[in-house]
Amino acid sequence: MQGKFTDWLYLDEGLIPILSRLVGLISLPIAAVVWFFAHSGCGLEPYPQPFNVPAWRFGTYLVPVPLPPEPLNLVVFGLFALAAVALIAGKAYRPLYIYMAAVLAYYCSRDFFVCMLHWILLDFLFLVALAFRTPGRPSPARRLIQLTICSCYIFAVIQKIFYPDFWLGLSLEANFYDGFAVTSPFKAFFIQHQLPMSFWQASSILLLVLETFVAIALFFKQTRIAACILGIFLHGGILMMMDPILSLFSLEMWLGYLAFFPGKTKVENTTDGTARPPLQMAFSLVYIATLIIMPMRIYFLGGPPPELLTLFERTPWTFGMFLMRQKQEQIEMAFEDEKGQRHSLEATGRMKTASNDNELISIAQYILKNNPGAKEISINDSIIVNERRRVLRTLVWRNPGQAGSDPQISVTNAGEYCRGAANRNPEPDHHP
């Protein structure tokens, strides 16, 4: 059994040398995005204000990741850029991959938003998988990248199947009916041509079939080319029609396709301990288990039912392209002082787009920081989903300055939303 598994896991290098060079290239603009959001709340423009939102949370405890001193940040990212250039030049030193992955892991943990972006996660996973390389010899690197691409599609399908809004066509219709998800000149087309719901439902089912086919067909020689063509068509549409920064996502997915093409030399089936290091095998199993456990967590962990989860609660590790459209309708924030007087607060900066527990807790902590005598903090956050209904997230934090006092968060369905002009929030649909 172990021999069969190792023979399945270990593949020849194939096109991995080319993939490694391209990962180094695409890591450079990704590092710029990570730098930007890692500086959230640092007090300098144009970074997002007025606070950062830690990515990791245990219950209601956010794990703060400090921002190193600026000279050190410059050194860290300078070395990251040099490592990326080395990959572009064809160097395949394991420390390069590990260093770059570690930098992304640390700085993305500082802010939830970059941890949520799937193309940054893909870059991180590719770097980790490439760290398993043994240039010129069989390794798990190709197989792990294959599984990463496959899990992206498979869990996208699972999410959409368990989210009725999608396969009923409501999600796609909400994303496109007013041109929200596309840029000009495509925006004008969708505004001028109001397509029937039957079209959006058929398109939704077709997308489910397409993603399922690509996820499976990439593994077979007979269907691999067809899967690549369909994948290029799918992600090419995203690249052409949507926000330019999403082009990085399409490029990452196309890079992953390279891992499915074998080399010209046949891999010998050996079980020699040197060729199959036990520690490498163990880390490979951890990698594979993470690809499965992390996206499945939303169906098994406690909390709101899946239908009330917002888009950014389903991330990271869960691909949700076109799964839903959401925006903040309004947010009401207030605190009660020591004299029992209630003070309402005005939303600023990234407060205007908050939609998940990490963001609400960060807002509450920010309010407490500026009002240390507060006896109670309350936040009501109304989120519009698919331009059809509201989800209300409520945070109440009593005696926030006392040890053992935790914010209490509830999530409810707040009823239907009419997307007529009278109910339209003038703020654009976007996240900072």
**DSSP letters of 194-222?**
---HHHHHHHHHHHHHHHHHHHHHTTSHH
pLDDT reported for residue 275: 57
- Confidence band (pLDDT; 50, 70, 90) for 175? very high
Q: Is the pLDDT of residue 202 over 90?
A: yes
CA distances from 290 to 113, 115, 211, 298 (A): 20, 15, 21, 14
Is the separation of the CB atoms in 146 and 219 below 8 Å? yes
> What residues contact 3, with CB distance under 8 A and at least 6 apart?
269, 271
Which has the closest alpha carbon to 67: 114, 110, 115, 31? 110
In the predicted model, is pLDDT for residue 425 greater than 60? no
Q: What type of residue is 288?
A: I
Residue 270 has pLDDT above 50, yes or no: no
CA distance 153 to 257: 12
Q: What are phi and psi of 49, to 5 degrees?
A: -125, 160
Reported as a single tens digit per residue, the pLDDT across 58-69 is: 889 999 999 999
- Which residues on adjacent β-strands are paired with residue 11? 139
Nearest Cα neighbor of 114 from 26, 38, 23 is 38
**End-to-end Cα distance, the chain:** 50
Instruction: Give the residue-averaged pLDDT of 375-394.
Output: 94
- Residues 156-162, mean pLDDT to the nearest whole number: 92
Neighbour-count burial for 400-418, b at 16+ CB within 10 Å, e otherwise: beeeeeebebebeebeebe
Q: At what angle do helices 278-300 and 2-9 cross, to 10 degrees?
A: 80
Cβ–Cβ under 8 Å, residues 395 and 408: yes
Answer for the pair 15, 146: CB distance below 8 angstroms, yes or no: no
Res 274 pLDDT > 60: no
Instruction: Write the Ramachandran bin of 341: left for phi over 0, alpha for psi from -120 to 50, otherwise beta.
Output: beta
Identify the residue with better confidence: 222 or 264. 222
Is 80 exceeded by the pLDDT of residue 419? no
What's the whole-number mean pLDDT along residues 74-94?
A: 97
CA gap 272, 358 in Å, rounded = 47
* pLDDT at position 48 over 90: no
User: What is the spatial distance between Cα 401 and Cα 303, in angstroms, rounded to a whole number?
Assistant: 25
| Mean predicted lDDT score pLDDT of the chain | 89
Least confident of 28-37, 277-286, 359-368: 277-286
Does 87 score more than 90 pLDDT? yes
Q: Say which amino acid occupies 169.
A: G
Closest to 319 in 3D by CA, of 148, 109, 177: 148
The reported pLDDT for the residue numbered 430 is 54
Q: How far apart are CA 52 and CA 50, in angstroms?
A: 7
Mean pLDDT to the nearest integer, 123-151: 95
Q: Beta 408-416 vs 389-398: how paired, if at all?
A: antiparallel
Please report, rounded to a whole number, the percentage of residues in the chain having pLDDT higher than 70: 93
Q: Would you list the DSSP string of 314-339?
A: S-SS---TTT--EEEEEEEEEEE-TT
Task: For residues 383 and 282, give the distance between their C-alpha atoms in angstroms, rounded to a whole number.
Answer: 42
3-state SS class at 381 = strand
- For residue 25, give the amino acid letter: L
Tell me the pLDDT band of 371, cut-offs 50, 70 and 90.
Answer: very high
Q: Which pLDDT value is given to residue 319?
A: 74
Is the pLDDT confidence value at 417 over 90? no
Whether the Cβ atoms of residue 172 and residue 199 lie closer than 8 Å to each other: no
The reported pTM is 0.91
Question: Which pLDDT score is estimated for 99?
Answer: 98
Kindly tell me the burial class for residue 63, based on how many C-beta atoms sit within 10 Å of its own C-beta (0-12, 13-18, 19 or more): exposed
Work out the angle between the directed axes of helices 94-110 and 118-130 (0-180°, nearest 10).
150
Q: What is the pLDDT of residue 246?
A: 83
Q: How far apart are CA 379 and CA 345, in angstroms?
A: 10
Residue 182 CB contacts under 8 Å (≥ 6 apart), including other chains: 176, 190, 241, 242
